[in-house]
Amino acid sequence: MKNRSTFLLTLLFIISISGVYAQSFTVNIPLTDNTDHHIQPIKINATRQIQIHVTNVSDTEEYTVSIDKSNMSQVFNWVSIEDNNSLIIPAGETKTFKLNVFISAGSSEGVYNMPLDFEAEDSGGNVHTFSYYTQVIIVDNSAPFSPTFDVSQSNENINFTNINGFDEFSNIYTLTNHSSLGYWGIKEFKIEIKDPNDNDKIIKSKLFYHDDGYNHYFSGLTPNKEYKSVVIVVDYVGLSNSTEKSTKTAPPIPTNLEYSNITYIDAVLNWSPSDGATGYDVFKKSNIERLNTSLITTNSFKIEDLDPETEYV
């Protein structure tokens, strides 16, 4: 009975001491704490640095802390740690590990786990361990799918609506925090209006992000002119893809509107022809009512069934 009691006391003492050392440190990683511990995607032959802030919350004890790479079997060769992976952290202070992840050539796209285990040596030479959340490395080496969008136009405007893009592996990252990272793995969008005869001549352009919405328009264009409408999507490793559509603005608004042959109940509306127009519609401005039942192919239209002594626009 005595031996059993001694064993239980010793076990409780060991558990208690281990708990104290685990609670002697706090860890903070600004890059991943808000993304469910996912590191921003990395492409092959590229490096991303993670800064790991470790705080010694002990009141008196100083520790020499290092990161245990031996548990990083899956990503061991990708990881290097500055300052020889050893930081002296006095009581109450915070030090920062700078961990670099380099994706070597020949690595496969995919999702990899990087455990974060620490060793802390106290002034007496005793080594204690603690851990933080496993970090997730996403290797993305393929461009997004071609974006989709709708385009419409008037005489001086081109409207882009329902703009969408998707990237398979960067999407894993954006799923962790839509509000700040966006959707479908796309970091940024770019719209361009180009001269169809000169692909290098960009007439208008706009860069936007997910919180700017997915409907955009350009004004001040030339009526009855061919343009090339382009949407470019960029994923979280900087790879891009694009889609283009031929777009022609509508003819200019007719000018020199005049009335002739005015009677009590009808009048003839005349106008100068618009370049590129194949037909016209006539509307009553007060309620945007179309007055013609079929497309007008001449430069005049007889408006009938008017009210006597009434002004029309």
Spell out the domain ranges in the chain.
2-139, 148-248, 255-303
| pLDDT for the residue 2 | 42
| pLDDT for the residue 208 | 93
Please indicate whether the domains covering 2-139 and 148-248 agree at the CATH topology level. Answer: yes
pLDDT confidence tier of residue 211, bands split at 50, 70 and 90: confident
- Structural tokens at position 312: 């029309």
- pLDDT of 20 > 80? The answer is no
| pLDDT for the residue 32 | 97
pLDDT confidence tier of residue 313, bands split at 50, 70 and 90: low
Structure confidence by residue, pLDDT tens digits, 24-45: 899 999 999 999 999 999 999 9
- What DSSP element (H or E) covers 6? helix 2-22
Q: What is the mean pLDDT of the segment spanning 296-300?
A: 90
Q: What is the mean pLDDT of the segment spanning 10-21?
A: 35
- Structural tokens at position 166: 């998707």
pLDDT confidence tier of residue 259, bands split at 50, 70 and 90: confident
| pLDDT for the residue 305 | 84
Give the lowest-confidence range in 169-178, 209-218, 241-250: 209-218
| pLDDT for the residue 279 | 87
pLDDT confidence tier of residue 286, bands split at 50, 70 and 90: low
Q: What is the mean pLDDT of the segment spanning 235-254?
A: 94
Average pLDDT along the chain: 89
Structure confidence by residue, pLDDT tens digits, 133-169: 999 999 999 999 999 999 999 989 999 999 999 999 9
Query: In angstroms, what CA-CA distances link 195 with 128, 163, 231, 245?
Result: 66, 21, 14, 12
Radius of gyration of the chain (CA): 34
Rounded Cα gap, residues 123 and 288, in angstroms: 85
Domain 2-139 fold: Immunoglobulin-like (2.60.40)
φ, ψ of residue 20 to 5 degrees: the values are -65, -45
Structure confidence by residue, pLDDT tens digits, 57-115: 988 999 999 999 998 988 999 999 999 999 999 999 999 999 999 999 999 999 999 99
| pLDDT for the residue 50 | 97
Determine whether domain 148-248 maps to CATH 2.60.40.10.
yes
Rounded Cα gap, residues 42 and 51, in angstroms: 16
- Structural tokens at position 57: 């919350």
- Structural tokens at position 2: 């005595």
φ, ψ of residue 287 to 5 degrees: the values are -135, 20
| pLDDT for the residue 287 | 65
- pLDDT of 257 > 80? The answer is yes
